[in-house]
Structure 1
Amino acid sequence: MCADGAAWSVMVGIGETYLPAFVLALTASQLACGLVATVPMISGAVLQLISPYVVRRLGSYRLWVVLCATVQAAAFVPLLVGALVGTLPLVVVFAAASLYWGASLATGPAWNAWVETLVPQRLRARFFARRSHLSQFGLLGGFVIGGLVLQVGTKPEAPLAAFALLFFVAAVSRLISAHYLGSQREPLPPGNSLRGLGVGELVSTVRQDATGRLLLFMLATQMAVSIAGPYFTPYMFVHLRLSYSGFVVVVCAAFLAKILLLPAVGRIVQRWGANRVLWTSGMIIAPIPALWLLYDGFAYLLALKVLAGTTWAAYELATLLLFFETIPNAKRLSILTIFNLGYATAIVVGSLVGGLILVALGSGREAYLAIFVVSTIARVAALALLVRMPKVALASLSVATRPIALRPSIGTVDRPVLPSLSESEGAPHRQEHARQAASPIPELELGA
């Protein structure tokens, strides 16, 4: 499954990440460039709600996961054809992106339940750490190679042709991933591990003070971030006039800062506590969009992306650890599934707010000034939800994640691998994870 993770990550880095740039080259629409990275996600968030029922009907985790992986690879075919022909209706692009995200997020519950039966408990911390590192290299490698191909291969007479190679490699990479997934055994058929919570249980859990406030804060912050986040790509290409290679360097600055500084962030969490780190990172994240407007120098942009990558690493580590500390083990999969729907909805709503501003004010710098300022104000307002959040004590914990996207504004978008956590609330397994991590620091493996 490590090979599957590496191939999956190459697809994300070289394919999905460059879809907004493809739309910008195809249509010259800054609005469409921003929305194509957000609106299609809602299809996946909805489809994952019904995937447990489909899996039980099929009687196989593997069949569903491989089917979704194959469909996801097929989603690149119309994009590849459009790049070769030089034209493609925008509605087809959004349909392909919706198919991509539908197949992507729909695998989540089944994949988590399946992998739990494949990897012995005593090996999970080490296995998922290794898978995480391979995935990081795959994502970074795919993204860098994709940028170089576009930089070298884009010609004025055929501005879309180079994208065809990117989408071809992305589709092949996902098919390779599907092949490795299909070669895995399936020791146990689908069972109660995919059973969802009843409405009463769900509401009762979310209404708990710490859980409810944390989830509401995360959704409010995501909506605030999404007012500006999707529009950093057109802003960089159109208004800052970055080349594809410049775009790669700027985005990699946040990506590498997020990975390389994560151990230091873990030590800070251990010393300060997750609540305090969440407050601090939230306050630093808030003004970042406005800082983009102060200066256009390339060195300044790199420094800003390093700041953003580091701060997002702290924010995501704190929220992830608090998420798993405040939600009982047996309810995590159901809560995470519902949260993913809320998360996608928040992204879409935020991006539509930003899009409305872009339409109302035009696509000039004044519009981006308004978008970035509104996003900053909304981020500050979201912090009010933390005022009365109870302080949560953390145990030593190792959490592996897998990337579902790479975003210019925040770096990787990750989802936790639930089997990498302890199966019970007792201490023995957590202590085992802490020993295998060789550190008492709460640890997050980004990009598994």
Structure 2
Amino acid sequence: MKKILWLLLFFSVITYPEKGMAAENLQAVIDSAKDGAVIQLEGKIYHGNIVIDKPLQISGKKGTVIEGDGKGNVISVRAPGVTVSNLHVKNGGMDRNSPEEYAAIKVYTDGNVIRDIEIEKSFHGVYLSKAHHNTIENVKIRGLGKGEIAAQGNGLHVYYSNGNLLKNNYIEGTRDGMFFDYANDNKALNNEITKTRYGLHYMYSDRNEFKNNIFTFNTGGAAIMHSNQLKLKNNQFIFNYGHRSFGLLVLSANENTIENNTFYMNQRGLYIDQSTDNLILANHISQNQIGIELWASSNEQIFTKNTIEENTIPAVTLGGTGQNQWSLEGIGNHWGTAFPLLDLDQDGISDSPATYKSSLYELIEDQELIYLFLKSPAIKIYEKMNQLLDNEKVMFKDEYPLTANSRNINLPAIVILAIIITAILTKRRQLLCIIFGKNGRKI
């Protein structure tokens, strides 16, 4: 009779894990749970690898760790409607030659929530595989670091997955921070990515929105490749520096809107190649080696209302001359102090175009290492020599450049000042005539 009572007590614990009585064998708890159950884990280490194949809520507390065996996914989500939160997940499979790419958390289904998770020691952090309308929020992923980028995967990997929301995540030291592959209509908001290869990498992914994200100290801030109709707004691309690095690369990407982003102290702020019909609007491109590198294979870009200032080279056109616009509806760009501009009618637009000529395009096209020497005094000498020899080429011509300080200029004051100066010069001329005579001889 006592044995029967003990057996009933044991099975009651297994059958009703939603009451918070998680067993040591976490997979057994999951298998025995009812649909919709809430499994509250204790602040200790649980062993993976686990598979969640029914709608459940699994939540931990401070000190809750799920540790994989290093040979697969630590957590596999194979049912819709799953919530996983407040966990430290580590030790996923790192084998690059396995039939499947492993992750700390791999999601195969729709409508799940992954929230408040810390991830380390795994090939990929969170991997969405043909999984739609999921939310990945407040996830911290730490990779192996710069020296091991090639040996690991991505922080957030989105593969053939649409309509997902990725927000408030922190990613450091992975291969790519976020990688989108054939993934459409996703949103990435308020994420911070640092010390990766590419902070953001889009391949064949359309209509995604990417807003309020920060990229620092990556080899490349973001690489948009073969992707169309994206919206990149209010992002910061800062200190992405290295050989041929960039803040944002746009390659074979069309009809994208790049608006109100900051490109600061990158080797190249914005790099555009083989792309058509992109709108570059109201961005701040400052203190980069090259503000904008634009290849002639790219056409019909529109640059308007951007502030492009204090770059070693404001913009350079390579590989020939493409058909691009440096203004829209009579509104060009702010160029800082790079050009002497005058706005006498006080409409905020210069009375003359801003034209930039350079001979450096030949060096950049022929010698990749030239990027390392753009701040060298020898480069300035080279430019001066070619200027004297009339060997320069027009890099861009902004027909309607904006004057940043035009609103602070008082036109009547300028007119009055001009009258006073004219009067002084006229009076001085009369005085000289009296002293020396009209023919210059002293009387």
Class of the TM-score when normalised by the shorter of the 2 chains: under 0.3
Q: Which has the higher helix share?
A: 1
Which has the greater radius of gyration? Answer: 2
User: Greater RCO between the two (CA within 8 Å, min separation 6)?
Assistant: 1
Q: Which has the higher strand share?
A: 2
Q: TM-score, normalised by structure 1?
A: 0.18
Q: TM-score, normalised by structure 2?
A: 0.18
